[in-house]
Amino acid sequence: MFNLSRMTARVAVTLSFAALLTAACNTDSNGPSDLNLSARNDHSGNNSSGFAVLANAAVTCTGGSIIGDVGTFQTTPPGAITLSEGCVIDGAQDIGGPAAVAAYEAFLDQYAALAPQPGDNCPIITGTLAGQSFSPGVYCISAEAKTGVVTLNGPASGVWVFKVAPGAFTGTSFSVVLAGGAQACNVTWWVDAAATMTDSDLKGNVLAGAAITLTRGTFAGNAWAGAAGVGDVTVTGTAVVGCESRSGNGNGNGGGKNKDKCNQGVGNGPEGCDPGNSNNRHGSNDENGGTPGNPGRRGGH
């Protein structure tokens, strides 16, 4: 059973932060805010134990797919994970278990840490965002429906935080394009209320005060719902790729989790790592089939 009093206290704190949204933002300009990015404290997902989807009570997936773990804060009932029409989840399913509860509490902490504060300089950017380009930074955006293409320009170490202040985050045929090495898992959409995406290609983690609804399209990131106390996740025909539980050697743009660098020793067996450009492009470890005296080299080199 979940601790209702603890949850109530957390919700009260979170709501008090959300109530500051209007006071925290102004409309003088459209530049990035000067908010301290120290709140990034792993809003990329590391504090939520690899869960691609977290809901307060229910996760429903119809005809879509989820790569990553799925969990709910509440036990059954009312906690539930419901799959239909061939929906596939390739990770663990945790209904109110210790891992899901710990991850959800970490989500609440992250949500509160990123909430606007009095005195923040975060001008609200209005409109659909179509055709706009953003460098790393913290931005506040209006609750108007989003459509078209928005571009996030790198580098790979760049961090973006978009705050919908206040209201819901909605989009139809809305696409996020990553350029210059930008990483989907370094993008956060902080939402005061619900998040609803239809026929969209959204990239970045969604931290929502209420429910998250994804219909068709694709989503690269983690979806965490219900920071205000109530919020389910509904996936219908959407391909969801979470940030922390992906397989393969991708680049953080929805194609897989990066591998660690190799221990350059030879003879210690394959490590499932990325050899990189060691030993002048010829490899100096077992990942390329190396053995002592012949460290993975090819073509007579």
- What number of residues does the chain have? 301
Long-range Cβ contact pairs of 115-118 (< 8 A, separation 24 or more): 115/14, 115/17, 115/18, 115/20, 115/21, 115/190, 116/17, 116/20, 116/21, 116/23, 116/24, 116/25, 116/140, 116/163, 116/165, 117/17, 117/20, 117/24, 118/20, 118/23, 118/24
Same domain? 233 vs 270:
no
Tell me which residue of 92, 85, 89 sits closest to 237, measured CA to CA.
Answer: 85
- As a whole number of angstroms, the distance between CA 212 and CA 230 comes to 11
166 occurs within a structural domain: no
Alpha carbon 183 to chain centroid distance?
Answer: 10
**Mean pLDDT calculated for residue range 11-25:** 37
Q: Tokens standing for 217? A: 């399209």
**By residue range, what is the domain housing residue 279?**
262-301
User: Beta strands 205-208 and 195-198: pairing type?
Assistant: unpaired
My answer on whether 235 and 283 are in the same domain is no
CA distance 163 to 8: 24
Total domains in the chain come to 2
Looking at every residue in the chain, the average pLDDT score rounds to 76
80 and 28 in one domain?
yes
| 207 plus 280 within the same structural domain | no
Coil, helix or strand at residue 139: strand
pTM of the complete model beyond 0.85: no
**Structural domain includes residue 152:** no
**Taking residues 3-16, what's their average pLDDT?**
40
Residue 178 lies in a domain: no
301 by Cβ neighbours in 10 Å (0-12 / 13-18 / 19+) ranks as exposed
β-bridge mates for residue 169, sequence order: 195
Q: Report the pLDDT averaged over residues 20-36.
A: 39
pLDDT band for position 212 (cuts 50, 70, 90) = very high
**Predicted confidence (pLDDT) per residue in 106-145, tens digit:** 999 999 999 988 888 889 999 999 999 999 999 999 999 9
Query: Do 33 and 86 share a domain, yes or no?
Result: yes
> pLDDT band at residue 32, thresholds of 50, 70 and 90?
low
80 found inside a domain: yes
Query: Helices 98-114 and 4-18: crossing angle, nearest 10°?
Result: 20
How far out from the chain centre does Cα 170 lie? 17
Residue 225 belongs to some domain of the structure:
yes
The reply to whether 176 falls in a domain is no
Q: Looking at the structure, do residues 235 and 272 belong to the same domain, yes or no? A: no
Tens-digit pLDDT profile for residues 229-275: 999 999 999 999 999 744 332 334 444 443 333 444 444 443 334 34
Assess if residue 157 is contained within a domain.
Answer: no
**Residue 155 neighbours by CB under 8 Å, 6+ apart:** 136, 180, 181, 182
